[in-house]
Amino acid sequence: MPIKEDTIHGLLASTKALLNKMYFIEDSFDLGVNNRCIGTCINYSDLLEMQDEFIEELVATVLRYVYSKRKQNQMKAHLINNEERDEDNAFSILQARAKSKFRKADVKGQISELLIYNLLQHHFKAVPILRKMPLTTNPELERNGADAIHLGVEGGKVKIYIGECKTSDRETGAFNYALTESIKDVILHYKSHRNEMNLYVYEDFIPEELEDFVQKYLNGDITDVQVNLVCMVSYGNKDTITGNSREEKLEDTIEKVRNAVRSINRDILHKKIDSALKPRIHVLIFPINEMNSLLEKFSKKIG
């Protein structure tokens, strides 16, 4: 039975609380790829950037990132019924177990992967179906796989979204480096992901309704899908954000995104992209002010 769009929408995690702490615009940014590229940043309350609130909401999505609702209910039932714990105690244990899955040595990567998990659901209405090997296993093996593989249905057409995250805090050329590397790697993953299915898992976090589809996709029994490529480009913004109001701060942030995009060499960039793939490449651009501060806050929250 084909997957229906309503089924996918019913499985999406709620991202409203996190997205309220972010701001975004959709624009082509004259990148010469898909017109639906997204510039996004941490939101402001008056003149104050909401970095603390953003981290709070991002970390709050960890539990759903690691365990599906069904898996959460199974684990919680075991903790309550078999170990005779209170419900709030069981929830605390679930949260702690989810956080323990994260690699403490790769905070940049973990923030980006957690963020693209949420943004793919919000902007593309696509739910996660496959993930690289378990988060705390061999990191050399993990690097071979894409950072995210999600499933969406649009106009009756099944779409697979392969996501690749790159984060750079270079003093110069941070955006250019992250963009070039993310596009290069996501195209590589597109070409090789069918041969690397043994690197991906779907247990624990995938909804029961999609297990049959995912197993068939892993086995190569489903071929009538359109694969889209999503590049999550995070970079340290070294310029001071100016403005006398929230709106002016956000406008200046997006203008600095445009300046970063103008600095790239499109001729070199486009040599890496087959013309048939250009309409399928989506770019999420995420400038980060005071990246070290953000990474430190995330590390403390994740424990």
Residue 142 pLDDT > 50, yes or no? no
Beta-carbon contacts of residue 77 (< 8 Å; ≥ 6 apart): none
Contact between residue 76 and residue 90 where contact means Cβ atoms under 8 Å apart: yes
Question: Tens digits of per-residue pLDDT, 144-159?
Answer: 678 889 999 999 899 9
DSSP 3-state of 119:
helix
Question: Tens digits of per-residue pLDDT, 82-131?
Answer: 999 999 999 999 999 988 877 666 788 889 999 999 999 999 999 998 87
Per-residue model confidence (pLDDT) at position 36: 83
Per-residue model confidence (pLDDT) at position 67: 87
DSSP 3-state of 4:
coil
DSSP state of 230: E
* Max avg pLDDT among 91-100, 231-240, 272-281: 231-240
Contact between residue 13 and residue 242 where contact means Cβ atoms under 8 Å apart: no
Percent of residues, the chain, with pLDDT higher than 90: 65
Q: What tokens appear for 163 in the block?
A: 């996501």
CA distance 275 to 22: 32
Cα-based distances in Å from 299 to 79, 102, 208, 296: 27, 10, 32, 5
Residue 197 pLDDT > 90, yes or no? no
Can you point out the beta strands (E) in 137-194? 148-154, 157-168
Phi and psi at residue 224, to the nearest 5°: -85, 65
Per-residue model confidence (pLDDT) at position 137: 46
Segment (H or E) for 200: strand 200-201
Per-residue model confidence (pLDDT) at position 211: 87
Q: What tokens appear for 117 in the block?
A: 């998990």
Nearest Cα neighbor of 116 from 225, 228, 208 is 228
Average pLDDT, the chain: 89
- Quickly list DSSP for 48-103: EE-HHHHHHHHHHTHHHHHS-HHHHHHHHHIIIIIS---HHHHHHHHHHHHHHTS-
Residue 177, judged by CB atoms within 10 A of its CB (0-12, 13-18, 19+), counts as middle
CA distance 66 to 68: 7
CA distance 219 to 202: 13
Bin 92: left if φ > 0, else alpha if -120 < ψ < 50, else beta: alpha
The dihedral sign for the CA sequence 200, 203, 206, 211: positive
Q: What is the largest CA-CA distance in the chain?
A: 63
Confidence of residue 262 (pLDDT cuts 50, 70, 90): very high
Q: What tokens appear for 280 in the block?
A: 């399928």
